[in-house]
Chains A and B, each alone.
Chain A
Amino acid sequence: MEAILVKFTPIIIVGVSLGSLFGLVGLAYTVIINASQLVNFGQGDFAMFGVAVCWFAMSVLGLPLWLAFPIGVVGGALIGLLTEKTIVTPLLRREAHPFYPILGTMAVGTIAAGVVGIYTGFYWMRVDLFLGVEPWRIGKVPVNTQGALIMGATVVLVVAYWFLLNKTLLGAALRATGFNREVSTLLGIQTSQMVRLSFVISGVIAAIAGVLCAPLSAFNAFDGLPLAVNGFIALIVGGWGNPYAAVLGGITLGLIRALLTGYFSSAHAELATFVVLVLVLTIKPEGLYPGFMVPKTLRE
């Protein structure tokens, strides 16, 4: 029994922390979807850029982590703002086909990855584990400190975003902009400001997710895209446009991956992610938890 516990619990912990990470990226997508119904394909590169800024602050400027982390987050916010300013709003104004702005976000993300890649030579941007390599022990069960941090950050960010979205006037304005832009403009909401704000918030969340996950793998300039894909899958599996559902979807995926990795192999685990996605899209296209925490009056 104890042997099972010692082997099984870490797998669950890895699964939940990996899932929280995907969920955080999914949350970052959701922020933009809430305010503009756009998918930001540069999301992973927002995270990557955050990591790059943080790494730059630490290794080149020699700043400590507690200072470099917020600087990286500001970097994420800046690239969010840049994406919105340079391509999303101009393309929205031109009323191009809806997938043009989506590709536009991908273009900015690719440019960011290219610039960071040239600077680092596509080499590992090293960020050490925040709390050291020694895991915490609860009884005999080891707990990865970085995983615990990711889970904690996810809870904090989801609660904070929930509060912003549902309990403040600003959140109401954000939701209204995504729901119907013309009517929101007529009601006196500055819709372009709301879209801009959503990109900044999304960049912040993505950068936090990126910096938190950077110590877990040899993070380089190419690693934004896989993060973006997994985050987007979390979002679709959980539920389109619902921040809490995206996190739940991420955790579901993370658990599936961790269990398959633990008992079969990582090749099967990665493949399973995509099989789960296609199954969800086929059987329940609205996601597994579409109405989770959404007030009844807002459901369609």
Chain B
Amino acid sequence: MVSNRKRDLMIGVGAVVVLMLLPLRLGEYYLYLIRLVGVYVILALGLNVFMGYAGQINLGSAAFFCIGAYVSTILQIKLGWHYLAGFPIAIALSFLAAWGMSYPLLRLRGHAMAIGTLAFGIAVFLVAERFRGLTGGEDGVVVPGMALFGQVMSGTFYYYFILVFVVAAYLFCYFLSDSRIGRALRAIRDNEDAAAAMGVDVYYYKRLGWLVSGVFGGLAGTLYAQQAGFLSPSTFTLWTNIIVLVMLLVGGLGLNLGCIVGGTIMTLLPHLIAGMENYVLLLNGLILFTVLRFLPDGIVGTIANILTRRAG
């Protein structure tokens, strides 16, 4: 896609203004849906840096999501901390987990990396589900609301809170993709050996991409827990990993805008066909199949291709 900073800026500011005005018109349910979309967009943006830019495989992205969500919640419940104090700790711990796991996992390639990250994701899920004393187990826990200046915060507050982080995360990825780091990551994706020969420190950049996806996952997790007000391990199952992956593919792997489009579609889908939960699995499968078979560049990628062809 031709990059055009001025056009992007105008569209971006327009979108943010619309999003800021939405709470005036929409009810709590719709705000909840948009908050949910925001959370998953952050998760997808992070995974996109590792999978889309660097071309690696991470089937355990829900692990960081889970760590972020539980750390801030446990700090609030067990130690009585304020959410805003637990928030940076949650992100820091996701960072530490990503950093620690980067040593065994990033040495792997291809299928071994896929199963290694998948195992990490399942292991974190099992800890959340089975260790009742720490996490409340399968029944889940109620996340205490946050009070600020003596007032308990409402859904609208979380809406703006999440919006700030979605915009920040998007800007981060927007500038990252054109930077030296973004180019290095894409060089690794296209040909690891050639990138190394050109002087790209492959492991350094892979680890950087992995850490970004870990921190974004932790951020998404803690935001998710706080805005939902309730936390149970069922949010972080194996399927979550797959759904986030499908988000990337539906939007277009490696495209930041694709994360927003894919994240929106895949998050809203189960709510759009509410009452027919049994069909969600089949629809997910059909969407993944269609995208892989007929739209390899995803929705955003395909539209961009058509536009560039028409323009020149």
- Asked if residues B119 and A107 are in contact (CB atoms below 8 Å), the reply is no
Q: A99-B57, A104-B293 are known contacts; what are 16 more A-B pairs with Cβ within 8 Å? A: A94-B296, A99-B114, A103-B245, A103-B292, A110-B282, A110-B285, A111-B282, A112-B285, A114-B284, A118-B279, A121-B278, A236-B115, A281-B104, A281-B105, A282-B107, A285-B108
Contacts of B123 in A (CB 8 A): 271, 274-275, 278
Residue with the highest number of chain A CB atoms closer than 10 Å, among B131, B278, B286:
B278
- Asked if residues B289 and A267 are in contact (CB atoms below 8 Å), the reply is no
B92 at the interface (CB under 8 A from A): no
A259 at the interface (CB under 8 A from B): no
Q: How far is the CA of A225 from the CA of B281 in the complex (A)?
A: 13
Q: How far is the CA of A71 from the CA of B114 in the complex (A)?
A: 33
Task: Determine which of A86, A115, A278 lies in contact with B116 in the assembled complex, contact meaning CB atoms within 8 Å.
Answer: A278
Contacts of B107 in A (CB 8 A): 282, 285
Q: How far is the CA of A282 from the CA of B102 in the complex (A)?
A: 11
B304 at the interface (CB under 8 A from A): no
- Asked if residues A274 and B122 are in contact (CB atoms below 8 Å), the reply is yes
- Asked if residues B120 and A110 are in contact (CB atoms below 8 Å), the reply is no
- Asked if residues B119 and A274 are in contact (CB atoms below 8 Å), the reply is yes
B141 at the interface (CB under 8 A from A): no
- Asked if residues B110 and A98 are in contact (CB atoms below 8 Å), the reply is yes
- Asked if residues B119 and A233 are in contact (CB atoms below 8 Å), the reply is yes
Q: How far is the CA of A114 from the CA of B282 in the complex (A)?
A: 4
Task: Determine which of B126, B242, B278 lies in contact with A267 in the assembled complex, contact meaning CB atoms within 8 Å.
Answer: B126
- Asked if residues A107 and B288 are in contact (CB atoms below 8 Å), the reply is yes
Q: What are 10 A-B pairs at a CB distance below 8 A?
A: A100-B292, A102-B114, A103-B249, A107-B288, A110-B242, A112-B285, A122-B278, A270-B126, A271-B130, A277-B116
- Asked if residues A281 and B108 are in contact (CB atoms below 8 Å), the reply is yes
By secondary structure, the A interface counts as helix
Q: How far is the CA of A136 from the CA of B267 in the complex (A)?
A: 51
Using A87-B292, A225-B238 as known contacts, say yes or no to A107 and B115 having CB atoms under 8 A apart. Answer: no
Interface size of B by Cβ–Cβ distance < 8 Å? 39
- Asked if residues B116 and A281 are in contact (CB atoms below 8 Å), the reply is yes
- Asked if residues B288 and A106 are in contact (CB atoms below 8 Å), the reply is yes
- Asked if residues A114 and B242 are in contact (CB atoms below 8 Å), the reply is no
Q: How far is the CA of A118 from the CA of B279 in the complex (A)?
A: 7
Using A103-B288, A270-B126, A271-B127 as known contacts, say yes or no to A277 and B112 having CB atoms under 8 A apart. Answer: no
- Asked if residues A278 and B104 are in contact (CB atoms below 8 Å), the reply is yes
Interface string of B26-61 (1 = CB under 8 A from A): 000000000000000000000000000001010000
Contacts of B281 in A (CB 8 A): 110, 113-114, 117, 221
Residue with the highest number of chain A CB atoms closer than 10 Å, among B55, B245, B293:
B293
Interface string of A106-143 (1 = CB under 8 A from B): 11111111110110011000000000000000000000
A90 at the interface (CB under 8 A from B): yes
B266 at the interface (CB under 8 A from A): no
Interface string of A260-298 (1 = CB under 8 A from B): 000000010011001101100110010000000000000
Contacts of B269 in A (CB 8 A): none
B111 at the interface (CB under 8 A from A): yes
Interface string of A52-92 (1 = CB under 8 A from B): 00000000000000000000000000000000001100110
Task: Determine which of B115, B116, B126, B284 lies in contact with A110 in the assembled complex, contact meaning CB atoms within 8 Å.
Answer: B284
Q: How far is the CA of A24 from the CA of B205 in the complex (A)?
A: 39
Expressed in whole angstroms, the minimum distance between the Cβ of B103 and any Cβ of chain A is 8
Q: How far is the CA of A109 from the CA of B281 in the complex (A)?
A: 10
Expressed in whole angstroms, the minimum distance between the Cβ of A213 and any Cβ of chain B is 19
Expressed in whole angstroms, the minimum distance between the Cβ of B62 and any Cβ of chain A is 14
Contacts of B245 in A (CB 8 A): 103
Expressed in whole angstroms, the minimum distance between the Cβ of A102 and any Cβ of chain B is 8
Contacts of B112 in A (CB 8 A): 236, 240, 281, 285
Using A104-B289, A106-B288, A111-B286 as known contacts, say yes or no to A277 and B115 having CB atoms under 8 A apart. Answer: yes
Q: How far is the CA of A240 from the CA of B111 in the complex (A)?
A: 10
Expressed in whole angstroms, the minimum distance between the Cβ of B286 and any Cβ of chain A is 6
Contacts of B111 in A (CB 8 A): 39, 102, 240
8 Å CB contacts to A: which residues of B272-306?
278-286, 288-289, 292-293, 296
Q: How far is the CA of A149 from the CA of B281 in the complex (A)?
A: 33
- Asked if residues B289 and A107 are in contact (CB atoms below 8 Å), the reply is yes
Expressed in whole angstroms, the minimum distance between the Cβ of B69 and any Cβ of chain A is 19
Contacts of B119 in A (CB 8 A): 233, 274, 277-278
A46 at the interface (CB under 8 A from B): no
A97 at the interface (CB under 8 A from B): yes
